[in-house]
Structure 1
Amino acid sequence: MSTAKKSVITIIGAGPAGQMAALFLAKQGVGSLLIDKGAHPRSKPCADVVTGQAIRVLYELDENLPLEKVFTDKYLRINGTLLHTPNGSQLDIAFLPLNKLEHLPTCIAMPRADFDNWLHEKIVASPLIETLDNTVITGWEKDSVTGEWTLLNAHKQAIVQSKLLIIATGSSASLAYTVGNLSKEDKHFAIGVRGYFKNIGNADYPNHAELFLHRKMMPGGFYIAPFNNGIANVNVVMRSDVAKRNHIDLKQLFWEAIELHPTLKERFKNAEQIGKLEGGALHLGTKTRPISGDGYILAGDAGGLIDLMSGNGIPQAMISGKFAALQAAKALASNDFSAAALKAYDANVYKKINKDLKLGKLLSPFMGNDFILNRATNAINFIATRKGAQVQLSSLLYTKNVAATLINPMFYWKLLT
C-alpha cells in the first residue's frame, strides 16, 4: 500500500516563485503542498535585489505585507544604480517612485536568506499550505490514463501523488528539464559567482546598487548591492557561451576585478570577506519558451525568466508564482489540468513581464559577437561623457515600448547631445 502523500496541487521549490504560488492559492482558499530540498533559513546565490515589480506582487497579496516592521528592518532602500563604464566614468541612473504606490520603496536590497525566510513564516502560518522540507525529488512517473503524477525519491519510493505540479526549482534542477522539456542553450544561459563582504561602503552613494562594466566580462558585469548592516553582495555574472569560448574562470575573474580595477582595488583594500564564494546558474529570458504543459507549470527561474540586462529574476519569479496560482485555481475548479487548460498561464506571464525582458531579447543575438561587444564598449565609454546620458538611460528603464525607443533616431540624438 502506497504511503505517498496526496495533494491535488503540489509546488516543488520554496523560493519566491513557489512561495508566491502557495500564498496566492491560499488567498483564494485553495490548499497546496510545498516541497523543498532544504529548510529555511537557507542561502541562495543571488543578487539580493528586490525591485518594484516584486514589491507590487507583495502588495497585491496583502497591502500591509511590504510595510511589516520585521520586513522593513531587514532591507536597505535602493534609490538607483551607479553605472561604472570601462573608461572610469560614472552614470547615476535614478529609480522613479512606484506609480500609485509612492509610499512603497522602488527597490530594496536584503539577503535572500532573510527574504525567503520572511515569506516562509507566512507559509507556515497558513492552514492551507502543507510543507515538506529536506525532500529531494529525483524522479517521477505519470499515469497515462488518470494524468496523475507520482514523485519519487532517490530510492525510487513514491513520495507524493498529485494532479498538478508547479515546478519552481530554479535554473539547474532536473525537473524543469525532464517534466517541462526545458533545454539548456549556452547563449540563453549565464553563470555567476557571489560573495558577501563588509567595509566596502560607498559614502557618496550609500543607497545605490553598482554595476561595473568591463570588456572582459561582457555580456555581464561586476555588481555590488549594499545591505543595511554594512555588508554588501558582490557578484560577477557572465553569459555561458562567451565564458566558454574565451575559457573564462569566473572565480578568477572575480578576484582579478577586485585586485586590478582602480576603483574596486581602492574600495576593497580594507574589505573583509564573509563566508565563501558561491556559484549559481541563470536561465535567461532571452527567448520565449512554453512554460506549461499537460499537468505542469514552470515558474520563476525554472521557466527561464531571468532578465539578461539586470541579471535579476526575483520579480519575474514572484509574478509567475502569482499567475501559476491563479491558473491552478481555475484548473482545480474545472477539474481540467490539460495543456490546453493551462496554456493561458504562458500568455499572462509573458504579457506581464515582456517589457522587462524585451531589451535583453532584442540585444541577445548580438551580445555573443566579439566585434559587436568591442564596438559596444567604445559606445558606452563615449556616451558616459555626455551630460544628458543618465537622464536618457533612466527614461529607457520606464518606457513602455523599448523596441520603438531604440529605433527612434531622436533617442540617440538626445543621448549624444
Structure 2
Amino acid sequence: MLETDICILGAGPGGATAALHLANAGQPCLLLDRATFPRDKICGDALSGKVINELRRIDAALPARLAASAVQVPCWGISFFAPNGRPVEVPFRAHYNPAAEPAPGHVAKRLDFDNLLIEQVRQRPEIDFREGVEVARHERLPDGRWQLFAADGTVVATPRLLLIANGAQSAQARQIGGHVLEPAHHSAGLRTYYQGVNGMHPHGFIELHFLKEFLPGYLWIFPLPNGQANVGVGMRTDKVSAKKINLRARLDEILTTHPSFKDRFAQAQRLGPVRGMGLPLGSKRRSLSGAGYLLLGDAGSLIDPFTGEGISHAMVSGRHAADWAARAVQAQNFSADFLKGYDAAVYNRLWQELRLSRAMQRLLAYPWLFNFVANRAVRNPTLAQTLTNMFLDLDLREQLRRPGFYLKMMLGK
C-alpha cells in the first residue's frame, strides 16, 4: 500500500502529461495504468498543432523528437469534403515548404505516440509509474484520503488527491465525478487500419468527409507511415439510435460502393478488425473537480464535438491538473472549493473553442447549409481559417470577441 499525495489513474496523454509537469515542478506522484505499455488505443491518430505545443511545454526537445521518428508522417493541412462532395483544402500555413520547415502537425498511431510520452515518464524518478494495475474499487476515508483497491481486494494506494485520467469508460468518472453518458453529447466511433489506399495527399493532409449518411458526424482518412491509413467514422450517439444505423455495415458499404471511395479502396487491404469507441463530447459544460479529485481528458468529457479531437484537450487538462494538484499539496487544501480553480483554468482555455465546435456540429444537421458554408469557405479565407484553427493551437477567443470577425464571415472576405 502506498500513501501518496497525488495518484493519477491512467497513463494516456492526459495522465502522462500531468505526471511529467508534476515532475518538472519537483512534485512526486503515483501513476497507475491497467495496461502494460506499449498498448493500442482506439483513436483517429491525428496530432494537431495543439498537441505539438503541449509537447513543447513538457520538454522543448519533444516536438523535434517526434518529427524525427519513423512512427509518424508529417501533416500540412486538412481536406474538408462537404455533403455535396465539394472539397475545401486548407493548409495549416498559407505558404509552406515541407522540405525546409517542420510540419505543424503529424499522424501517428496511439500505440506509438502514447509510448513516446511513457518513455519520458520512465526517465523521471519523481514519477512512481506502475503498469498492469487496475483499480477495481475505491472508498473515501474519514480523513479525506482515497483508498484504492485492486480486483483481489488488496489496497493499492491511499492518495490525498486523485487525478482521474483513465478514459471515456472510466468507472471513477461516473462514480466519483458524476459524468453519465448523454447520447446528445456523446459520439459512437469506429476505427480500422488499411494498407494501400489510393489518392492520399502528397503532403499528408488529413481528410474529413461529411457524408449525408453519417451526419452529424464524418468519415475520416488519415495517412500513416509505410503506406497505411487510419480510416474511421464517428456519429452522434442519439442520431445513431434515432436513424437505426449500423455503423459497421454502413462503413463497409460506403467504402465499397460510394463514388468517392470505391476506386480508392478497390485494391486496399484492411489490417485487422474494425474496433469501436465511445467519445464523451465537450458540447456541454460539466464539473471537472470535487473534493479530492480532478477529471482529465476523455474522463472529463472534453472531446471536441466537431472535430472529435481528444488528445490535445487531454494534454491541456493534464497540464492544468498538474498545476492545481501542486497548489493543493502546497496549501494542503483538497476541498471542492479550492479545486474549482482547475475547472476555471481548463474552460478558460477550451470553452470558446468547444462552443464554436458545438455550433459547427449543429450545422451538420442541415446539409444544404453546410454545403453553403463549404462553398463560401473556398473563397472566404476567414471561414476557411476558422475551420482549420479548430485543429491548431490558435486562441480563438480574441477573434470571437470582435464583431469584425463575424462581418468578414458574412461578407465572404
Distance 2:208 2:35 in 1: 31
**TM-fit CA distance, 1:84:** 1.8
Alignment partner, residue 59 of structure 2: 62
Specify which of 96, 111, 124 is matched with residue 126 of structure 1. Answer: 124
CA distance in 1, matches of 2:65, 2:201: 29
Q: Equivalent residue of 2:153, what SS?
A: coil
Task: Say whether 1:48 aligns with 2:45.
Answer: yes
Give 1:111's aligned residue: 109
5 Å matches for 1:212-291?
Answer: 212-291=209-288
Tell me the amino acid that sits aligned with residue 134 of structure 2: V
Question: SS of the residue aligned with 2:226?
Answer: coil
Alpha-carbon RMSD across the aligned residues, in angstroms, is 2.3
So what's the TM-score if we normalise by structure 1? 0.90
Give SS of 2:286's match: coil
Q: Which residue of 2 aligns with 1:360?
A: 357
Matched, 1:138 2:136: yes
CA spacing shift, 1:92–1:78, aligned 2, 3 Å: same
Structure 2 letter corresponding to 1:122? Q
1:203–1:11: structure 2 CA closer, same or farther, 3 Å change rule? closer
Which structure 2 residues correspond to residues 319-398 of structure 1 after superposition, within 5 A? 319-363=316-360, 366=362, 373=365, 376-385=366-375, 388-389=378-379, 391-397=381-387, 398=389
Change (3 A) 1:274 1:403: farther
Q: Is the 8 A contact 2:74 2:203 kept in 1?
A: no
Question: How far is 1:261 from its partner?
Answer: 1.4
Retained in 2: the 8 A contact 1:359–1:402?
A: no
Q: 2:411 aligns with which of 394, 413, 417?
A: 413
SS in 2 for 1:43: coil
Seen in structure 2, the aligned counterparts of structure 1 residues 345 and 71 have a Cα distance that, compared at 3 Å, is farther
Tell whether the 8 Å contact from 1:93 to 1:393 is kept in structure 2 after alignment.
no
Task: Assess if the C-alpha contact under 8 Å between 1:405 and 1:411 holds in 2.
Answer: no
Equivalent in the alignment of 2:146? 149
How far residue 326 of structure 1 moved from its aligned partner, in angstroms, is 0.8
Which secondary structure state, in structure 1, belongs to the residue aligned with residue 302 of structure 2? Answer: coil
- 1:85 maps to what in 2? 82
Alignment partners' CA distance in 2, 1:297 and 1:344: 11
SS of equivalent to 1:131: strand
Residues in 1 aligned to 2:349 and 2:375: alpha-carbon distance in whole angstroms:
35
1:244-266 Cα offsets, whole Å, 9 max, x none, are: 11111111121121022112111
- Aligned match of 1:158: 155
Task: Write out per-residue CA displacement over residues 208-250 of structure 1, whole angstroms, 9 at most, x where no aligned residue.
Answer: 0001111120110000110132111001001001111111111
Shift of 1:338: 1.1
> % of aligned pairs identical?
33
| DSSP 3-state at the match of 2:162 | strand
Q: CA deviation at 1:205?
A: 4.2
What per-residue deviation string (whole Å, max 9, x for no partner) do you get for residues 303-338 of structure 1?
Answer: 010001110000000010011011111111111111
Q: Shift of the alpha carbon at 1:389?
A: 3.7
Report the secondary structure of 1:7's partner residue: strand
What secondary structure does 2:262 align onto? helix
C-alpha displacement at 1:173, in angstroms?
1.7
The answer on 1:183 being equivalent to 2:173 is no
Partner of 2:393: none
Relative to 1, partners in 2 of residues 1:67 and 1:305: Cα closer, same or farther, differing over 3 Å? same
**2:411 is matched by which residue type in structure 1?**
W
- Which ranges in structure 2 are unaligned for 5 or more consecutive residues? 390-395
The C-alpha deviation readout for 1:275-316, integer Å capped at 9, x for no partner, is 111111111000111101100000011001000111000000
Match of 1:293 in 2: 290
- CA-to-partner distance for each residue in 1:114-167, whole Å, 9 max, x for gaps? 0001111111111111112112112111013x1010011223332111101000
Q: Which moved more, 1:188-197 or 1:385-394?
A: 385-394
- Give the letter aligned to residue 141 of structure 2: D
Question: Aligned equivalents of 2:295 and 2:183: distance in 1?
Answer: 20
Shift of 1:95: 1.1
Distance in structure 1 (CA, Å) of the matches to 2:67 and 2:310: 23
Once the two structures are TM-superposed, the CA of residue 19 in structure 1 deviates from its matched residue by: 0.2
Gaps of 5+ in 1: none
Secondary structure at the aligned position of 1:68 is classed as helix
Distance 1:320 1:133, change over 3 A: same
Give the equivalent residue in structure 1 for 2:392: none
- Decide whether aligned partners of structure 1 residues 181 and 22 sit closer, same or farther in structure 2, where only a CA change above 3 A counts: same
CA distance in 2, matches of 1:346, 1:51: 23
